Amino acid sequence: MKLQDAYASETNALGKWVAIGYKAPGGTNFTYAGGDVSPATTCATGGTYDAVTGKCKNAEGTEVAATGSSITDGWTAANTIKLNDCPAQVNWKLSAAVGLAASDNGSVTYTQTIVDETNCGGLTPNFKAIGK
């Protein structure tokens, strides 16, 4: 998250794993994914993001302000084996969002999710406190 924070403060945007310099840890009990997702851009009221031009535009085609950028499941961890009562599947997710207004100062908001919190939450009791 520190890499994403640094990238956001420099660019006022979110970056893919390669852009922020992140490499997932190795190992055989977990797999990690999410670095290939592209940030989604939100636009001011009445605007939609045009991926071809990389700009937000209203129905008339006039450029409007981009208001935010987000990555859903920008980082996921899946245990490849059953751990106690925690089934082998994607169980930990991290999403990120950044406001694009100058007043937002590139600060990133993180949302942590434990998919099967009942059976897997006890394995990582501090996971939801990451970045807070």
Domain that holds residue 12: 2-41+68-129
- Asked if the structure places residue 63 within a domain, the reply is no
pLDDT tens for residues 97-130?
988 876 777 788 999 999 999 999 999 999 988 7
pLDDT higher than 90, residue 35: no
Judging by DSSP bridges, how do beta strands 55-57 and 48-50 pair with one another? Answer: antiparallel
- Asked if the structure places residue 46 within a domain, the reply is no
Number of domains in the chain: 1
pTM, to two decimals: 0.80
Give the separation between CA 50 and CA 106, rounded to whole angstroms.
22
- Asked if the structure places residue 8 within a domain, the reply is yes
